[in-house]
């Protein structure tokens, strides 16, 4: 469940962005920073998702606020989703899926290096990569063509996010019931 907590800033951003991109960016930055510091003070580990959210939302809030205030909502959404997608893809390429930091908090240390544990985290991260790829693609489509509205893009993003969250919550339970994450 702590992985879901890691996505709170991104969920807050998606919800508040309907009112104001600027407000959404600052709220998401504050939430990322607060969650990251809370976790760091408890574990002395800065989680990838917390660091990425803090950097992404903070730099985008400053850029939109001071460099390009007229940046379109769709462009802001695309940068957020593509930025998070990039972080997740890089974590897979480095053989350190971003979900590992959360999963390790819930299992014994001797489990951390097992093939099934690593495979399960690769699958979880791959689901998130798929969801973020859908979100970034629909954001790009909304920017490039008038046939895709901002409302459709936001709805598709929330559906993809809900799907990935549902999988994240249910997958460990399903894996345990079947005797492993295979």
Gap between the Cα atoms of 174 and 59, Å rounded:
38
Q: What is the pLDDT of residues 11-62, one digit of tens each?
A: 899 889 989 999 999 999 999 999 999 989 998 989 999 999 999 999 999 9
pTM equals: 0.88
Q: Note the pLDDT tens digit of each residue in 107-161.
A: 899 989 899 999 999 999 999 999 999 999 999 999 999 898 888 888 888 899 8
Q: Determine the Cα–Cα distance for residues 21 and 14; give it in Å rounded to an integer.
A: 9
CB 160 within 8 A of CB 84: no
Token readout for 53 is 């959210």
Residue 57 structure tokens: 């939302």
Confidence of residue 68 (pLDDT cuts 50, 70, 90): very high
CA distance 15 to 89: 25
pLDDT band at 180 (very low <50, low <70, confident <90, very high): low
Q: How far apart are CA 22 and CA 65, in angstroms?
A: 7
Give the Cα separation of 78 and 84 in Å (integer): 10
HEC readout, 112-151: CCCHHHHHHHHHHHHHHHHHHHHHHHHHHHHHHCCCCCHH
């Amino acid at each position: 469940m702590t992985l879901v907590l890691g996505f709170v800033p991104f969920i807050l951003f998606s919800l508040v962005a309907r009112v104001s991109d600027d407000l959404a960016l600052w709220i998401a930055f504050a939430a990322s920073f607060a969650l990251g510091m809370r976790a760091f003070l408890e574990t002395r580990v800065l989680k990838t998702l917390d660091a990425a959210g803090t950097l992404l939302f903070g730099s985008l809030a400053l850029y939109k606020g001071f460099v390009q205030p007229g940046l379109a909502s769709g462009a802001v959404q695309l940068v957020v989703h593509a930025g998070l997608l990039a972080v997740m893809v890089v974590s897979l390429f480095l053989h350190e899926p971003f979900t590992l930091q959360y999963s390790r908090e819930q299992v014994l240390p001797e489990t951390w290096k097992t093939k099934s544990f690593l495979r399960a985290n690769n699958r979880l991260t791959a689901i998130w990569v798929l969801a973020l790829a859908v979100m970034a693609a629909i954001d790009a489509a909304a920017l490039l063509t008038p046939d895709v509205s901002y409302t459709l893009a936001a709805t598709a993003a929330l559906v993809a996010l809900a799907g990935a969250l549902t999988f994240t919550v249910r997958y460990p339970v399903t894996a345990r019931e079947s005797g492993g994450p295979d």
